Every structure is written in structure tokens, then in C-alpha cells.
Amino acid sequence: MASSSSDSVFQRGLTKLCWHGKPAERSRLRVVYNNATLDTGSDRAAPPQVSYKTNKIKTTKYTLLTFLPKNLFEQFHRFANMYFLFVALLNFIPQVMAFGREIALIPVIGVLAVTAIKDVYEDYRRYQQDKKVNLSKCLVYNKVAKSYEPKECYRVLVGDIVKVKCNEVIPADLLLLECSENSTTCFIETANLDGESNLKQRTAVDVSLDSNGKFDPRIPIMVECEAPNAELNKFNGYVVRHLDNGRKKGLSKENLLLRGCVLRNTDYIKGIVIYAGHDTKAMKNSSGPRYKRSKLERYMNRDVIWCLVILLFLCFFSAIGSGVWLSLKWDSPEDIPYIPFDDGVRDGSKPAVEGFLRFWTFIIIYQVMIPLSLYATLEIVKFCQVYFIHQDIAMYYEEADILPVCRALNITEELGQVQHIFSDKTGTLTENKMVFKACVIGGMLFREDTTSADNAASETDGAQATADPVTDETKSTSVLTSVANGYTDEGEELTDEQKAKINEFLLLLATCNTVVVSSHSHNLSMSMLDSTTMPSSESVDTIDTAITTPNGTITSHYSRFNIQEANGSASGSVLEVPMTTFTPVKNALKKITARIRRSFINEDSSGDGLPNGEESVLSQRTLASRYEAESPDELALVKAVCKYGCRLLSRTSQSVSVYLPSAGSSPIQYEVLAVLPFDSVRKCMSVVLADERSGEIVLYTKGADNIIFDKIKCKDNNQKELLKQTRIYVNHFAKDGLRTLCMAKKVLDREMFEGWYERYTNCDLEDREAVQFSLCNMIETEMELLGATGIEDRLQEGVAESIQALEQANIKVWVLTGDKQETAINIGYACGLLPTDAAILTLNVPNADEVESALQGHLRGTLTRSGAASTASADTRPPHIPKCLIVDGKTLSHIFSGNLSKSFLRLADSCLAVLCCRTTPSQKAQIVELVKTKSKKLTLAIGDGANDVNMIRTANVGVGIEGLEGKQASMAADFSLGRFKHLVRLLFVHGHWSYDRLAIMTLYNFFKNSNLIFVLFWYQIFCMFSGQTHIDQVYLIVFHLLFTSVPPIIFAILDQDLPAHTLMAHPTLYQQGPENKLYHRYSYWIQILDSLYQSLAIFFISYLHYADADIGLWSFGTTQTVTLVFAQLIVLAFETRYWQWPFICSIVLSLVGFWVFLLILGTACLRCDPPSNPYWVMQTILSYADSWLCIMLGVIVAVVPRLVFLVFYNMVYPTDVIHYRSLLLGKSKHRDSQNLNIVFPDETPATHRTIEHL
């Protein structure tokens, strides 16, 4: 170990090296030292990391001392609570007091107490979780004891060396320094962060002193990296080592282990803490429930403002009336209808002063004109609606055990108002279970047999796929293995160039990926369990039998690859492409069979399937090995080449081991010099390999065909012909709906590569991503084309029926995909997005100057050809023919950069469907934002992958599909589903019900609150606007809290205008939401006018009835209170379409509770707070028959006009909902209303499910 003096010199040198920049630059960087090499206490970090956060997690909001002030402070930030508090405090002023002081405090104390209890419970749960995490133990290096000792996680500091064992959770963000078993790689599971269950591989940084790869914790190192941020897939920095004299070594995300990940398939790792506690990326990404404001809520807020206007108007009017009455001159004191002021008090200014004071009194009296309780009611209702969405068994995806999940609790009604749907293709409309179907290698077309492909597809349907070593792998590898060993179908030898291209193509597919090879069991959704053995004699006998069929054809057991015939009639063919390179000949079967026997069988073998008893490198790995990939495409390609003899054996950050058919029984080791990861802009991935045998350095690249073709350099006519032929095949692949990828290579000069790699790894942190992107584009040029692949991604069940139903509901569906245009069009036809009789408008204009003319040409309906790439085939069709628009990503970039968005939107709105291909994630978000902001349409985006997150977050409603690409989309979405077809039920049933219920309930709350206020207002006319109320103050305070609060909540949770099967069978019923038929701009005023009329009927019928009667003030007011309660509950009953026991019970309990409350209050309230005195009032009213008659008459006169209007309007202007309700009610044989038949359009009666109504 170096001396302490040299260490201190080194530390000072590092500090000078890292802190020479400007202060602004230093603030964006983090410098971390190894604490074990610093002269500090065991639990103290040294500068500059002394200011960094510790690893203690604290997600609680309160302590015992801060709870009361902080909670009150937060609650009074809400307008509702501030309003209640203001009114309560206003009532403490004697000059304006309307109610008793204690009574006025009941609402605000009740609201604050309920909210405080909820906050305490939630915060205590967070405290328990924090305590559990902070007190968990991890191994931290102790420089005094010179060993790793257990320490609580909250005591871990930045710069500590931490050891993590297999299946343990990473306690902080660690820079990986050492892995077990002399390996430089480890495996982690990131499901806690991004939901992806497949294993990720991480690479250790070489900072060791000795040659055995072991890290010495006493090594003085320093890490310079970016400041803490929330980017999970980004990490840039340098590590400076002691022995390298301060030389920097670049760091990336592949070297960082994030907090919350789980170590898998690795005995242990060691790392240095870079970010701790709340600085970790996991904590930076943690946030509370997302909040979105729905369209109905925006309408409601608008109408609340109108309530405020009405409140102020009533208060001003009443205040002016009070002043006017006081200013009148009376001839004698006996004529004064109110208690006069003393002569010494009354003067000319008194009416104005009294009017001002009475204004604030009326604010207290009319306070419930603003239905602030409506917000709390909405929260309760939406919470229950979300619960029932979660429990809907009809949206359960049994295969993956996925139920619908809602993460945005306040936009359930938005599901019933969707007008535009933006959908991803892969994994959303399709299965995302890739099946390798065909490939082109050096101009030679190979394709997968249909039967075998079906078998292969079935293998990947489960949580993990198992390949049988005999029946599955051996029987499918023979043809291409023999070809790769040097023979064609005719048994003739291939040329060296053909053999090299085939081997390099297989090598590229096996190595240019992120597939992880592991040998431990790990239950994942995207993995391939594959036993590694060579064919046995029994399996080869089966192959022989399969090959030598009577008609001499190649059966499905043999022909995993069929070389296309010249007439395009190969068995199981899906491509009608002429082939000129290879032609299968029937008489070559015996030669192929003999070659297979010579390759795999020898009478003297030891049973391993190798001649002369040679030991197979594959047979040594009889234990199950597993392929795990971040992308289903990569898994399908690696699995395909594995079945055809080229097997990926192992992978580390520095090397990759593969088995090639042409290499005999020995594996080939390649040194991995660089990996250029895939990104959505470059649309390709590259790997630089060095062959240990020849020392040649080769860059292998795979990516989108349009990107790779632009990188190809044709040196002669043969390569030009190869490029042309490959383009033809790729286009045919795409037309058959296959996903296409192209492969290329480039031989690199070692000196050139080393200079390039030095620049790539040591670029500045400030603009590292941009510089690395430029360097990737620089090296990925002048490449040689190897071939292309076609992968099938089948449609999900029910997608076509779902899209048809959505279009019938007048919802426009746009598909935004990154696939090739021909592939996207094929899928568009297959899923019904593009009708067969539709006119296709294509916008595929590479030149920015021609985009505007192409748009205008389509808008004018004339054929405008902007070069060969711009085509339109719809202009000559009749006007009634539906039009569909297809646009590519390059044209979209021109549209957004050229301010042509409005023209594009006009054209898209005139089309039945829009299909955008070759789009980037940012373009998807731009399209959604364009429609949402410019068209003012309610948008929904649905996707399954990380590239769909931007689109999902931009839309009004985001829906994620939990698929094979992890859970990033579903975690970022408002709603999560298992399949695309479940979206139809989510919208047509739950969305329709939620909008219908919430719209009616919101308007009903406006009605009942204003109804009470108008009754109070009419009495003020007769009491000279004095501020006296004729209804007891207790009744007024608890009227909306106890008497009429529960039935509207039950209604909004359970009511149904139509059963689920009817809504699913008739998509046009969905239109009442998008067209705002239930809650439009006049709905509020209709309710206000009705409440105004009912208040007149209720007040003046009672007034006329008691005009000459000797009855007290409180009896008069209590009669009207009873009439109000009955009338408002009956109005709600008119709105109810689905009577069930919870709603009936809520009505009964409300009435019973109302009577009991009034009787108890009338009995117990001997001396209540004056001027109210309800003692024995209720008992007195019940004893008179005319009081009952007055109540009944008031209710009838109040509610009958509303009933007559509803009946008349529904008869003259029936909606679709009313029409279908009448049909259901008119059937003699009615369905049991307590059960719902769950019917999906593609289901047969035998598959219908009946579930109990939620």
C-alpha cells in the first residue's frame, strides 16, 4: 500500500484536478472520495462530500411537534377550508352574527378533523416503512477493523465501500468496483424501478491493484460525476485511479447500481456509494399520486364561479333591502314592522351602516350557495368508482394475471368523453411475442417453416419458454447447420464468400444485442430456457425419417429454413418473391442426410453426438442456460440463431463466447471493445468485436432498414445488386406484416479505432451525450451490408373488433409506430384500422420544400405528385369513400419544423384513421399535443413500452399495457390494462357510467344547495331583510351534511342508465359523453331555474297555508325543512335508473335519520342558543293533519313540473340511451337486473361470463 504522505499528495492533486472549473460548473458535478483512505472518523465523511446527503430516508411530512401547525397550514391552503374558516370567524362578530358561535364552528372543525385523521394515518404508515428501510443492515467496509461489518442503512455515507450479496437490495446508488468469481459483470433486477423483470447486466470498473481482479478498499480513488438527477438511464462521470497518475477512466450507466435494484445470479458485489438517501435516482423519481383536472371538473369550477356571483348578488340585494327598509319614514311607531332603534341611536347614516353589516350577515346565512362539500363528495365517489374498475373480472387478463389498475383517481369521467385515441402498435395492438420468420443473407432468402414457427410461437406464450434439446432444437437446426458448414441444398460446397457472409450474419445476430446469458433459475416474463445439447443418435434418426419422406419434400421437423423456389411455391411460404440464388432440388436430400450423419453421428462416439469421442463444448453445459433480453426482438433473433447452430454461450463486458457451426466443437471467444447502445434517434445498435484468432476488429451494426441502407457503401456492381435485392426482400417482408431489421459490418483499423474510442470514453461531462452521438454516427458509416431479418408480431385477440367498435362510437383512432411503412400498413389492414374500400392518402415527402404543396394538394382533393415519394390514390374516388392518412416520421419532422401543423391537422381530421410510421417518441408526444391543444379534443394515448411514455403523459388520459417490455408505460399511465381489447370495456362501460353518474350528481348538488338558499331568501322579504332566519340554525348547518348527503353518493357509485352488455353491443351509446349531452353550458342554469321554482312553491304554499294561523316562527320553518328534504330526495329518485338495495337503504335511512334527529332535538333542546328554540316543535307539527297536507302539497307542486318536463322531453327528443332503455323495459322476458352479462364482440355465447353487479 502507498504511504500516507503519497496518499495525501494524491488527494490534494485530485482535488485540484477536479475543482479547477468555474463555480457554475462545479455545482453541476459531484466529487466522491473513498472514505476508507481519508483521515476522518469512522462515521464522518470528508470534504467535499461532507455536505452530501446521508442514506437516511424520510418520506413523512410531520413530527409530533410540527403536526398541528403544519397540517393546519396545509389545509388552509385549500379554498374550501379558508372559506369555511372565514365564515365561522365572521359569525364571531356580534354586529353580523347570524348563528351561535359554537354552531358555526361545526363544519370547519369537522372538515379539519377528518382530514387531519386521514393525514395522521397516512403519515404513520410512511413512518413505519421508513423505519423498516433505514434500520435494515448492509455490509460496509470498516477501515479500522479492515473488514466488512454490518451497519444500518441510514448510517451509510457517500464514499463508503459497500458489499452486497445475492438477492439483496442495493442500499444506495453504487459504482460497481468488483464482482464475485473473478468476473467483471453482475446481474440485477430493476423491477422496483421500471417494472422490467428481465435481468440487466452491469460492469465493474477496473480499479484493482493486483492481477486477480480483486478490489482493495484501501485504494485511494476519486469519482467525478454528474450531480444527482432523476434520469434512470443516464450516468456520466470519470474515475481517477492512484496507479494511473490521475488518468481518467470514463463511466456510464452500465457501471452504476441503482438503489432498490436486487442483485441476482451473482454471489456478491462491491461498490462505492455515489448517491445516498434522497439524492439517489430512485428517490428522485418518487412522487405522489398524479393529479389531472377533468373536463367535467373544469365545467364544475366554472359553475362554482356562477354560484359565487349569485351569492354576492343575493347578499347585495338583501343588504340594500335592509338599508331601504330602515330609511323609510313611518307615521307612527305602531306601523313599524320591526323593532325600531332608540331615538338617540337612529340617524341618517344608520341605514347605510346597517346595510353594510347585514351584507356580511347574509354571507353567513347564504354560505352553502357555494357547494364546497361537492369536492369532498367527488373524491369519495371517484375512489369507489376506481375500486370497481380494479375489481372488474371482465377486464382480467388471466394469462399474465393482470387486473386493471387506476393511478389517477380523479379522471374516471374522462374515460366517458374520449374523442381521439393514439395507439402504439408493437405490444399494444400486437402480442409482442416475436417469431422469427425469414432472413436475407448476402442476397439469399431463407424463411421459417409455418408449422415450426407456430410451434416456436407457442413456446414463448408462457412466463418462460423451454426448448427441448431433442424434439425442438436438434430437429430444427440441420439444414442451416449443414449450409453453414459449407454445403447447399444440393450438397454442393458453398463459396468462401457465401460461407463467410452466413457465419458473420449469424455471429452478428448472436452478439449485437443486450441479451443476458445466465445459468440460475429466475422466473421472468421475457426469457428463454434452453438446454444446451447436441443431437443424439435417436434424434438424428427422427430427422432422417422426417427428411426421407416418400415425396422427397422437407417436412416441418427438418425445414426450419426453406430456401425459396424459383416459382415461389415453397412449402409454408408466405412470400411470393422470385429467387435466383438457391433452388432446392429433390435429389439432394440423400446428400444432405449423409452430411448430417457425418457431422453428428459416429459409431465410435461417446454418445455426445461428436465423432471420435470428441467432447462437445455444448454438452458440457447440460444445465439449463437462460437468455434474458430487454427487447422481444433481440430474444427472438438470438433464439432463432441458437436453433440454427449459432449459440451465444456467455457474455461479459469485455468478451463474448459463441458457438458457430463452422468452428467445429470449440467455442470462439471475441473481445468486446465497445458497445454503442440503441437510441430512438440513431435507430440502430452496434458492437465492436476483436477476433482472438485473427486480431481483426469489426464493427457489427443492426437497426432500422432505412437507417442501415443509408450507411452502406457499395464498392462495386455486385454490392449494388446485393443492396437492391435486399431492399426488395425487405419490402416484401414489410408487406407481409413482418418487422424488419438490417445488419451490416465494417472492418476497423486498430489505430483509428483506438483514437476514436479515446474520444468516445473521455469526452466532457457537460455535452457528453451529444458528442457520443456524433461519434457514433461518425464510425457507423461506409459499411458492408450483410442481410436483413423479418420477425412476425401477431395481433392480439380482439383488436380488430375493438377498433371497429371504437370507430362506431365515432372515436378517431390514430396508430403511431416506429415500424416501416409497409409493415404498418399491413398491420393497419389486418386490425381493421384501414378499411379495404378506403382511399389511402400517403404523405412521404423527404424534401421539406414539397411538404406544404403535398398537404395542400390532398386538402384540395386533387392529385399532386411532389416527386416520386409523394403519392395520393384517393382523389379520384367518390366523396363518400372514407379516407385514411399515412405519414412517415421524416415528413412529420418537416411538418412540425415548418409551421404546417394546422394544415396537417385539417387533413387528418377529414380522414377516418391516421397511421404514422417511423415516428420517434418525441414525435408521438408532439402529435398528441397538437390534437389536444389545437383541436380541443379529449385525447387518450395507449402504449406498452418506454418509448410510449411521453405520448401517454401528454394525453388527457394515458393507458398503459402491461406487456413484455416491462411496466414503464403502465407505471407512467393513468390506467393500466392487460390487453388492448379491455380498453373498449373501460371506455364503453366504466367511462360511460362514470360520466353519466358524475354529471347528474354534480348538477343535483348545485340544485339542492341553491334550493335551500332561495327558500331563505324569500323569507327575508317578509322579515325586512333583517338577517333573521325562520329555519333553525342547527338544521341549516347539518342539512347537507346529514339529511341529503348519502343518497347522492350511492347514486353516483352504483347507478346505471344501461347494463354493461347493452353498452358493449351498441357503441353509438358512448357518444353522450364526447358530445356533452348531460353537462353542457346550459345545464347549470336549468338546475338553477328549477331550484328557483321549487323554492317558490315550497315557501309560498307554506306561507299561504299558515297566513292566518296562530303558529310560531320555528314551526313555519320546520315545515318547510321537511318539505325540502322530501322534495330533494324525490328529485334524486327521478334521476335514478337502477334501483337497488344500497340506494333504497340510503333513501330510507336519510328519511328515518332526519325524523329521529328532529324529534330528539325537539325533545332535548330546552334552552338552546337564542334566538332559535326548536323545543317540541317537531312533535307539534306531527300532531296536526293540516301540516302533513301542507307538506304533501308543497312536495307535489314542487316536483311534478320537473317530472312532466322530463317525460315530455324524453318522448319528443329521445336520446339513444332513452331509446334502448325503452326497448329493455318493453321486453316481456327481462334480464335479472342484479347480474350483468359480459359480452365482447368476438365472444361466442358459450364464452359469455356472468358476474355479480359491482
Active site residues: 424
| SS3 of residue 264 by DSSP | strand
Contact 150, 139 (CB under 8 A): yes
CA-CA-CA-CA torsion sign (5, 11, 12, 17)? positive
Q: Name the residue among 416, 409, 639 with its Cα closest to residue 513.
A: 639
| SS3 of residue 151 by DSSP | strand
Residue 1046: CB atoms within 10 A of its CB come to: 17
What is the C-alpha to C-alpha distance for residues 1124 and 1145, in angstroms, rounded to an integer?
20
Q: What is the DSSP letter of 45?
A: P
Cis peptide before 1201 (omega within 30 of 0): no
3-state DSSP helix/strand/coil percent for the chain, to nearest 5? 45, 15, 35
What is the C-alpha to C-alpha distance for residues 445 and 800, in angstroms, rounded to an integer?
31
The residues, any chain, with a CB within 8 Å of residue 1145's CB and separated by 6 or more, are none
What is the C-alpha to C-alpha distance for residues 928 and 978, in angstroms, rounded to an integer?
23
What does the chain come to in residues? 1254
What is the C-alpha to C-alpha distance for residues 479 and 533, in angstroms, rounded to an integer?
17
Q: Name the residue among 420, 411, 480, 415 with its Cα closest to residue 641.
A: 480
CA-CA-CA-CA torsion sign (411, 413, 417, 418)? positive
What is the C-alpha to C-alpha distance for residues 1231 and 1245, in angstroms, rounded to an integer?
15
What is the C-alpha to C-alpha distance for residues 803 and 931, in angstroms, rounded to an integer?
19
Burial call 711-747: b when 16+ CB within 10 Å, e when fewer: bbeeeeeeeeebbebbbebbbbbbebbbbbbbbbbbe
What is the C-alpha to C-alpha distance for residues 766 and 29, in angstroms, rounded to an integer?
9
Rg, the chain, Cα only: 38
Position 942, amino acid: I
What is the C-alpha to C-alpha distance for residues 376 and 909, in angstroms, rounded to an integer?
39
What is the C-alpha to C-alpha distance for residues 841 and 885, in angstroms, rounded to an integer?
5
Q: Name the residue among 68, 73, 70, 67 with its Cα closest to residue 85.
A: 73
What is the C-alpha to C-alpha distance for residues 561 and 736, in angstroms, rounded to an integer?
17
| SS3 of residue 1251 by DSSP | strand
What is the C-alpha to C-alpha distance for residues 453 and 636, in angstroms, rounded to an integer?
11
CA angle 1129, 1133, 1138 (to 5 degrees): 145
What is the C-alpha to C-alpha distance for residues 1163 and 1158, in angstroms, rounded to an integer?
8
Catalogue the E-assigned strands of 985-1139: none
What is the C-alpha to C-alpha distance for residues 903 and 645, in angstroms, rounded to an integer?
54
Q: Name the residue among 423, 515, 468 with its Cα closest to residue 979.
A: 423
Cell matching residue 146: 479492515
What is the C-alpha to C-alpha distance for residues 1218 and 1239, in angstroms, rounded to an integer?
21
CA angle 183, 186, 189 (to 5 degrees): 170
Contact 512, 670 (CB under 8 A): no
Q: What is the DSSP letter of 991?
A: I
Q: Name the residue among 915, 905, 895 with its Cα closest to residue 852.
A: 895
